[in-house]
Amino acid sequence: MYDLIVIGAGPAGLTAAYELSNSNKKVIILEKKSQVGGLAETKVFGNYRYDIGPHRFFTKNKEVYELFLKMLGEDAVEVNRKTRILFKNSYFDYPLTPINALFGLGIGESIVIGFSYIFARIKSYLKISKINNFEDWVVDRFGKKLFNNFFKNYTEKVWGIDCKDIGSDWAAQRIKGLSLSTAIKFALFPNSKKRPKTLVDKFYYPRLGAGMLWEKFEDYIEKQGIKVAKNKKVTGVINNGDSFKVTIEDNLGNQTSIDTKNIFFSNPLLEFIDIYDAEIPESVINSAESLNYRNHISVHVTIDKKLFDDNWIYIHSPNLDMARIADFTNFSDDMSEEGKYPLTLEYFCFEEDEIWNQDNSDIIDFALKELKNIFDEEFNVIHSEVSRNAKAYPVIKTGYQEHIDVIKNWLASLHNITAIGRSGMFKYNNQDHAMATGLYAARTLLGHGNFDPWEVNVDGEYHEELSNN
C-alpha cells in the first residue's frame, strides 16, 4: 500500500514528489508517456531539440524561483527576450511599444487608434463602459482599434471562440498591470520596478530545453527513492472508503492495479472525473459536460537557414492558421548543431477539427506552406515531426468558473484526493503555478499545515504570502 500515488510526471507531480522525497512516505508517480515534463517537455530528435511551444520561466514566488535555479545549477541560461507580433505583413514589438504600434500601421490608422483609445478612456472615466467579457476588458483599456489589431485574431486562434465568450477575469489575470500608459512608461523607463509580467524582458531557460528541468527533478527524486513509472497510464480510480485501488495500463496494453491511501492527480480534471469509479453527483457531471479543452499541435521542423532572431513570433495575421513560431537556437545554442535551426510552429484546434484528424505528413506540408508564405525565403528542411497535445488548454469560456466551483466543492468532499497543476485544476497557468500547487499539496500531506492548492494564485503565490507583503 502506497501512502501516495501521483498521477502525471509534469511540473506539478514532480514538484510534489520532490517535496515528499525527504519524508518517510511511500510515493510513486505514474506517467502515461515515455518521458517526463508534461506540457513542458522537450522533444529530442537526433541533434535537434524542440519544446512543444516556447517556455519562458517567470515567477513571483521566491521559493519556486530558487528551486528552479537550484535544480538547474549551471544549466540555467540567461536569455534576452525578443518577441514580436506579425500582423498585416508588418512586425510589431511585443510587448507593444507605442511608437511602433501607432506608426507601424501608417499615419491614418494611427489617428484612428489614438481616437479610439481616447474614446475608450473617456467612457471608462465616466463609468459608462460595461465589462462583461475579454473583449470589453481590452477595449476599455486600449480602445477598439488596438483590440481588433493586436488582441482579437490571436486570442481567437488560441481559444477557438469569440472574444466576447471569454471571461474578463482571464484578461485581468494575464495582462494585468498593462495599459497603454504603462507600456509607454516602461518603454521610456525600462528599468522601473514593478514591471508587469507581460513586459519582463530577460528570463532563464534550461540549456537543453524546458524539459531539462523536469528530467533533473526526475533524477533527483529517483535518487531519493521515489519511482517515476513511465508508460503507465492510469485508467481507473476505485474508492474503497479508506483507500483507493488505481488501475494502470502500460504501453503494451497490460493491466495492473496498486493500492494507495492518497492520490494527487495532475491529469486533466475532466478525464479524472471519467475514470473515477464511484457515484458522482449529477451537478458535477453536468458541470464537467459544460467544460472543454483546446488541443494543441506542434509542428517541429529543423531548417538550414536562420529566418528570425526572436525567441518567438506571434502570428496575428488572420490569413494564417499558425498561431506562433519559435526558433530554439534563440534560447540556447545547445538546442541544435551549428547552422541548423529547430523551429516549432504552433496550431490550436478542437478534437473534431480537420487538422487534428489529418495525417502528420499533411500537417507538416501545410505548416511549411504557411512558413514560406511568411518568410518568402529558400531553405532546406532537415527534419520534421508533429506532436499532438490533447487537452492542452482549458477553455476559459465565460461562466466556466461556476462549473469549476461545483466540481471543486465535490472534490473537497472526497477525502485524500487532491487536484494539482494546470490540467488537474482546469487552470490556464504556467509552470510556476503548477509547481506551487504540488509543493503545497505535499506540505499538507506531510502535516505541515492546511495548504489548499486552489489558493495558489496565477503568479504561483499562496494567498497568505500575499497578505504578508
Taking every pair of C-alpha atoms in the chain, what is the biggest distance, in angstroms? Answer: 70
Cis peptide upstream of residue 95 (ω within 30 degrees of 0): yes
To ligand FAD, the closest distance from the beta carbon of 233 in angstroms equals 4
Phi, psi of 393 (to 5 degrees): -125, 115
Q: Interaction with ligand FAD in 310-349: which residues (CB under 6 A)?
A: none
Task: Give the burial string for 243-262 (b: 16+ CB within 10 Å, else e).
Answer: bbebbbbeeeeeeeebebbb
Span from 4-12, 149-157, 280-288, 443-451 in contact with ligand FAD (CB under 6 A): 4-12
By beta-carbon proximity to ligand FAD, the closer residue of 113 and 175 is: 175
Residues binding ligand FAD: number (CB under 6 A): 34
> Which of residues 227, 233, 245, 443 is near ligand FAD by CB under 6 A?
233
> Cβ of residue 266: shortest distance to ligand FAD, in angstroms?
4
Q: What 3-state DSSP class applies to 163? A: helix
Report DSSP state, residue 242. Answer: S
Single out the residue of 2, 4, 6, 8 in contact with ligand FAD (rule: CB under 6 A).
8
Task: Verify binding: residue 419, ligand FAD, rule CB under 6 A.
Answer: no
- Per-residue binding string, ligand FAD, 235-274, x by CB under 6 A, is -------------------------------xx-------
Any idea which residue has 533524477 for its cell? Answer: 219
Crossing angle of helices 431-445/62-72, nearest 10°? 100
- Residue entry with cell 487552470: 427
Q: How far is the CB of 36 from ligand FAD (least distance, A)?
A: 7
DSSP of 373-439: HHH-----EEEEEEEEEEEEEE--BTTHHHHHHHHHHHHHHSTTEEE-HHHHTT----HHHHHHHHH
- Binders of ligand FAD among residues 428 to 447 (CB under 6 A) are 429-432, 434
95 binds ligand FAD (CB under 6 A): no
Least distance between ligand FAD and beta carbon 364 (Å): 18
CA 174, 154, 291, 248 dihedral sign is: negative
In the complex, minimum distance from the CB of residue 164 to ligand FAD, in angstroms, rounded to a whole number: 24
**Of 32 and 144, which has the nearer Cβ to ligand FAD?**
32
Question: Between residue 40 and residue 59, which ones bind ligand FAD under the rule CB under 6 A?
Answer: 40, 52-57
Q: Is 158 in the site for ligand FAD (CB under 6 A)?
A: no
Round to whole Å and give the CA distance between 277 and 413: 15
Residue closer to ligand FAD, measured from CB, 9 or 313 = 9
**How far apart are alpha carbons 50 and 85 in whole angstroms?**
21
Q: x/- contact string, 273-302, with ligand FAD (CB under 6 A)?
A: -----------------------x------
- Does 458 sit near ligand FAD (CB under 6 A)? no
Per rule CB under 6 A, is residue 421 in the interface with ligand FAD? yes
Among 16, 28, 31, 86, binds ligand FAD (CB under 6 A): 31
Q: How far is the CB of 413 from ligand FAD (least distance, A)?
A: 22
The CB-of-134 to ligand FAD minimum distance in angstroms stands at 19
Q: Report DSSP letters for 83-152, one per residue.
A: EEEEETTEEEEESPPHHHHHHTT-HHHHHHHHHHHHHHHHHHHTT-----SHHHHHHHHH-HHHHIIIII
Interface residues with ligand FAD (CB under 6 A)?
Answer: 7-13, 30-33, 38-40, 52-57, 233-234, 266-267, 296, 392, 421-423, 429-432, 434
